[in-house]
Amino acid sequence: MAVDDRSRVATHDPLVRVQGLSKHYAQGRWLSREKFVVQALENVDLSIEAGCTLALVGESGSGKSTLARCLARLEEPTAGEISFDGKNLLALSASELLPIRKQIQLVLQEPAGALNPRFSAVDVIAEPLVIYRLGSKATRRQRALELMEQMGLPPEWGGKSPREFSGGQRQRLAIARALALEPRFLILDEVLSGLDLSIQAQIVNLLIEMQASHGLTYVLISHDLSLMASIADEIAVIYRGKIVERGAPAEVLTNSRHEHTRALVASMLGCAR
């Protein structure tokens, strides 16, 4: 993978700051009225500098996707604070939050749910512009075709249904759709999982190019520590709803402090042999 120099020095307040974030779910027991609490996130603190990539790594059920949905304001945290560009998102009204939602976009592992099969590829990408009533039909179509080209998809495929695209191509469509509103912050939840290594490399390089040209800030969520270490400026390891380790990739890989991180590193090294 063609990866540029990812080292940066923070000189200003972070674009995203998470403080004391917790998320609890009340669930019922089978054939019983008894309830119990599932603690998905517990007192999570994070900060992400503008233009940087934070990788959030953890096993299934660790709280990664819950944190992603909270950051995108699709889940309401039980406690804590999420600040974006200095504004506490949890304190904003729905009308105050609306323009900020355009700047924060979430892309999921399986994009099928976000890609209406009755739409053409162009219509799928342009849909957020329609929702926000931005531009004319012609300018929305042009924007969608430009994004297809930027994501390595032939613009002449714009009339095809998403069903006619491969898994990797649908993921590119989903990323293009997320970019339609010109966001500043992208949350990418397992978007590289299940793809061939060559397709992973293509999408990674596209993401790096888009970040460089548009000044994007990324949270990349994954269970693949090795892949994230090759992309991210920083890695945060999440375990049982808590951030147990955070640092530069080289530091996390060579000087792990938490036993769960050491287990992830050992597993990574074992798979590499």
pLDDT at residue 66 is higher than 60: yes
- In angstroms, rounded to a whole number, what is the distance separating the alpha carbons of residues 175 and 115? 11
- Dump strand ranges (E) for 98-153: 104-107
Considering the chain, what percentage of its residues have pLDDT values greater than 70?
92
Position 26 scores a pLDDT of 77
With respect to residue 136, please indicate whether it lies within any of the assigned structural domains: yes
- CA distances to 16, 24, 62, 79 from 185, in Å: 9, 25, 22, 22
DSSP secondary structure of 223-272: S-HHHHHTT-SEEEEEETTEEEEEE-HHHHHHS--SHHHHHHHHHHHHHH
Is the pLDDT confidence value at 59 over 80?
A: yes
Amino acid 34: pLDDT: 72
**CB within 8 Å of 28: residues ≥ 6 apart:** 34, 35, 36
Within a domain: residue 223? no
- H or E element, residue 218: strand 217-222
Q: What is the pLDDT of residues 258-269, one digit of tens each?
A: 999 999 898 877
With a cut of 90, say whether residue 31 has pLDDT above it. no
Categorize the per-residue pLDDT at 10 as very low, low, confident or very high, splitting at 50, 70 and 90.
very low
The alpha carbon of 264 is separated from its chain's Cα centroid by a whole number of angstroms, namely: 21
Q: Residue 142 pLDDT more than 90?
A: yes
Task: Determine the pLDDT at residue 36.
Answer: 72
Backbone torsions φ then ψ of 98, nearest 5 degrees: -55, -50
Mean pLDDT across the stretch 155-178? 93
Task: Count the domains in the chain.
Answer: 1
Q: How confident is the model at residue 174 (pLDDT cuts 50, 70, 90)?
A: very high
* In-domain check, residue 142: yes
**Does residue 8 carry a pLDDT above 70?**
no
Q: Evaluate whether residue 228 is within a structural domain.
A: no
Query: Domain span at residue 136?
Result: 114-182
Say whether pLDDT at 238 is over 70: yes
Is residue 81 a part of any domain in this protein? no
Mean pLDDT, rounded, for 232-241: 95
Tell me if 164 is assigned to some domain. Answer: yes
Instruction: Tell me, yes or no, whether 20 lies in a domain.
Output: no
Q: Is residue 198 situated within a structural domain?
A: no
Supply the mean pLDDT for the chain: 89
3-state secondary structure of 76: coil
List 187's β-bridge partners, or say none: 106, 219
Nearest alpha-carbon partner for 48 in 221, 174, 203: 221
Mean pLDDT within 23-48: 83
Residue 32: the pLDDT is 67
Is 1's pLDDT higher than 50?
no
